[in-house]
Structure 1
Amino acid sequence: MDTKFSVALHILTMVSESKETLSSQALAESVGTNASYIRKVIALLKNAGLMTSHQGRTGYQLSKPPKEISLLEIYYATQEIDHISLFQVHQNTNKECPIGKHMEGAMVPIFSSVEKQLEGVLVKQTLSHVINNLYLTAQKS
């Protein structure tokens, strides 16, 4: 399972909320992974224009305020795509079978509808929502 999206949310939240300058090693310790994986995810976020860093200096910054970074932008950055594709249709169905030859056409509209709904939800949610949820969760424990 691909976890780059949730790792990116973790990284962006830490960078946003930390008073300290964070290295990839510090981020990796919080995420529970290695620093090279963190650098890989950060590279995706930087390529998407969501984060910046300065050559020769430790630390990262958000490129814009958390309320201006949609979860859909983060998802697209981490998946390196421009649309959500959650479901794959199986290939090589038997075209001689009355069910097999029409299965793809039966599934694709449903799959597309669900994916569009998810895009609609993620575009309305921002990194600020994740940060607010973090503080609510912390208060409860």
Structure 2
Amino acid sequence: MKQISSRFSVAVHILSLIAVSPKECTGDFIADSVNTNPVIIRKIMGMLKKAGLVEVRPGVGGASLLKDPDQITLLDVYRAVDVIEDGQLFNFHDEPNQDCPVGRNIESALRSELRDAQSAMEQRLAQVTLDQLTVQFH
């Protein structure tokens, strides 16, 4: 089973570190906290920068938030790191058997249910700010 990309949780981890410990946030510090390769951190930082969420200081290193933590929602982060393909969280399997009544109708029967599930998840992410999350780390 394919899971949602871990880029989302790593991006939230990065932004939380910057919000909580902005002065220490070099690439190595972040990679050590996330316990992953600095190359992965740089890639995700680039996505967050492109989305207008962080500013990265070259050379000396370090990063800062471009918005207050109470203005960054988990939905902003989710969208910034391209967690899903083509805006669709759920994908359908290719070419079900059209001679089977289930195979012929499964996509149309499930599509609206899955769209509603994705919408509910996105609405929930939109209600949680980085500030609300990082309060738990003090």
* TM-score after normalising by structure 1: 0.87
List alignment gaps of at least 5 residues for structure 1: 136-141
List alignment gaps of at least 5 residues for structure 2: none
Task: State yes or no: 1:58 paired with 2:47.
Answer: no
In the alignment, the residues of structure 2 paired with residue 7 and residue 80 of structure 1 have an alpha-carbon distance, to the nearest angstrom, of 11
Q: Is the Cα contact below 8 Å between 1:76 and 1:83 reproduced in 2?
A: no
Q: Per-residue displacement from partner, 1:63-86 (whole Å, max 9, x unpaired)?
A: 010000010010011126697533
Q: CA shift at 1:16, angstroms? A: 0.9
Task: State yes or no: 1:123 paired with 2:126.
Answer: yes
Task: State yes or no: 1:76 paired with 2:83.
Answer: no
* TM-score after normalising by structure 2: 0.89
Q: CA shift at 1:46, angstroms? A: 0.2
Q: Per-residue displacement from partner, 1:16-42 (whole Å, max 9, x unpaired)?
A: 111523210111001111111111110
Number of matched pairs: 135
RMSD: 1.8
Query: RCO higher in 1 or 2 (8 Å CA, sep ≥ 6)?
Result: 2
Task: State yes or no: 1:102 paired with 2:105.
Answer: yes
Q: Is the Cα contact below 8 Å between 2:22 and 2:62 reproduced in 1?
A: no
In the alignment, the residues of structure 2 paired with residue 3 and residue 81 of structure 1 have an alpha-carbon distance, to the nearest angstrom, of 11
Q: Which amino acid aligns with 1:120?
A: Q
Question: Share of identical aligned residues, percent?
Answer: 33
